[in-house]
Structure 1
Amino acid sequence: MWEWLVFVAIMVVGQFSPGPDMLLLTRTALAQGRSAGCWTALGIACGLGIHAVVAVAGVASLLAQGGWLEKTMKLSAAAYLTWLAYQLIRSGVKARKLTIPEIGVVPESSRWSAWKRGLFCNLLNPKVAVFLAGVTAPFLMDAHDWIWPTVLWATIVIEGVLLWCLWVCLLQQPAIKRSYLRMAHWFDIAFGLALLGIAVTLLLS
């Protein structure tokens, strides 16, 4: 239970870290309202689910084989997570502010269009699968069947849908929007430190 709660906390930070998905979701929610934002969130979650299957299944299979494949995967994941952590922490220290351009009045898009935008925004970002592989690797070290990997996959997708839809609803409040723009760089720093901790765990395991 404790291990699962740690994973949930890490994914919360990751899902709220500024990036392509979050920027698209935020812009859609602000410009087109709650409905379009929630359908965009569902599209992003569908893409995330596909990436998560590839990542979790691949990591579990490689770890089950052991030997040089396991060591190579650990080193590769740790190296990528360290690099990503450095980029995020540097961005946060420089206090680069997340900006959302003025879009003006936008006609209400269909649910299908909003869903497709979210889906392809996530699917066309190859770093998502690599990131998920690195994050899930430490939590799959002692997995002996597919129950625990399935739990991690479900956590990634369901948590994403719930939190992103909640974010869309909160963004309808002007005060929330202003606060997020001011605090975006702190999310970068927190996420970077979390990734760095995961990388160290991989190397020491």
Structure 2
Amino acid sequence: MNLALELAAFSGLMALGQFSPGPDMILITRTALADGAKAGALMGLGIATGLCIHTSVAVGGLAVAFEQSPGIRQAISWSAAAYLLWLAWCLLRSAFATPAAGGEVVAVPARRGPYVRGFICNLLNPKAVIFLAATCAPFLTGPHPSWWPFAIAILVIVQGGTLWALWSWLLQWRPLRSRYERSARWIDGVFGFALAALAVKLLVAP
């Protein structure tokens, strides 16, 4: 297959994976809606930084060892679950906060910036490296030039950061933001419960 076509096919698979439901998607969507495109783009950059590490592990062939080390994987899963539960608690606390005078709800400030939250959320996702390993493996087999693994890694990182930034910008569409502003407490509650559900799934997964 032509190298350009291979990269295009790989890029399409990665886009589908990055926009599938998960903690990164939930967190960046809520951040972009609540705090604007800049905060969403910074979170996207943090997620892309996490992808740097995951991609290095996947392209370097270490994902197999990770998959065969249940102790390491369980420790990371528990850490991820704890972090997701903390994020869920912050959103639910904001959703169920008592309105201040005038009927406005005072938002609970985040203790970490969007970049750090995005980085930690992606870094502690044990499914990310496995997904990347499964997606990268078919494209790393067979005859390829020496620069090919680096091209795969760069594509993952650059595409991830770019798509998340674009998503943050699209979420600034005025009708969508107006709807969020009118229903922020309910939406934050839904996002909070979704993150909690993902944390429980990590805890009970074999």
TM-score, L = length of structure 2: 0.60
The answer on 1:50 being equivalent to 2:53 is: yes
Q: How far off its partner does 1:106 sit? A: 3.5
Q: For residue 131 of structure 1, what is the aligned residue in structure 2?
A: 131
Q: For residue 157 of structure 1, what is the aligned residue in structure 2?
A: 157
Instruction: Give the counterpart letter for 1:20 in structure 2.
Output: P
Instruction: Give the counterpart letter for 1:42 in structure 2.
Output: L
Instruction: Give the counterpart letter for 2:51 in structure 1.
Output: L
SS state of the match for residue 61, structure 2? helix
Distance 1:105 1:159, change over 3 A: farther
For residues 52 and 143 of structure 2, the distance between their equivalents in structure 1, rounded to whole angstroms, comes to: 20
The answer on 1:31 being equivalent to 2:28 is: no
Q: How far off its partner does 1:174 sit? A: 4.9
Distance 1:15 1:170, change over 3 A: same
Q: For residue 15 of structure 2, what is the aligned residue in structure 1?
A: 12
Deviations 1:6-29 (A, max 9, x none): 001111111111110010000111
Q: How far off its partner does 1:34 sit? A: 1.2
For residues 58 and 8 of structure 2, the distance between their equivalents in structure 1, rounded to whole angstroms, comes to: 20
Q: How far off its partner does 1:42 sit? A: 0.5
SS state of the match for residue 142, structure 2? coil
For residues 176 and 163 of structure 2, the distance between their equivalents in structure 1, rounded to whole angstroms, comes to: 15
Deviations 1:142-201 (A, max 9, x none): 1555411110000000001111000000001155678xx9xxxxxxxxxxxxxxxxxxxx
Structure with bigger gyration radius: 2
Q: For residue 22 of structure 1, what is the aligned residue in structure 2?
A: 25
For residues 144 and 25 of structure 1, the distance between their equivalents in structure 2, rounded to whole angstroms, comes to: 35
Instruction: Give the counterpart letter for 2:172 in structure 1.
Output: Q
SS state of the match for residue 142, structure 1? coil
Q: For residue 115 of structure 1, what is the aligned residue in structure 2?
A: 115
* RMSD between superposed Cα atoms in Å: 3.1
Q: How far off its partner does 1:108 sit? A: 7.5
Q: How far off its partner does 1:121 sit? A: 0.1
**Larger CA deviation: 8-17 vs 152-161:** 8-17
How many residues of Structure 1 are paired with residues of Structure 2 in the alignment?
A: 142
TM-score, L = length of structure 1: 0.60
Unaligned runs of 5+ in 2: 68-90, 96-104, 180-186, 188-206
Instruction: Give the counterpart letter for 1:162 in structure 2.
Output: T
Distance 1:153 1:120, change over 3 A: same
Task: Note the 1:135-150 alignment, pairs <5 A.
Answer: 135-143=135-143, 146-150=146-150
Percent identity of the aligned residues?
A: 45
For residues 30 and 128 of structure 2, the distance between their equivalents in structure 1, rounded to whole angstroms, comes to: 20
For residues 159 and 110 of structure 2, the distance between their equivalents in structure 1, rounded to whole angstroms, comes to: 25
Instruction: Give the counterpart letter for 1:33 in structure 2.
Output: G
For residues 127 and 109 of structure 1, the distance between their equivalents in structure 2, rounded to whole angstroms, comes to: 25
Q: For residue 169 of structure 1, what is the aligned residue in structure 2?
A: 169
Task: Note the 1:52-67 alignment, pairs <5 A.
Answer: 52-58=55-61
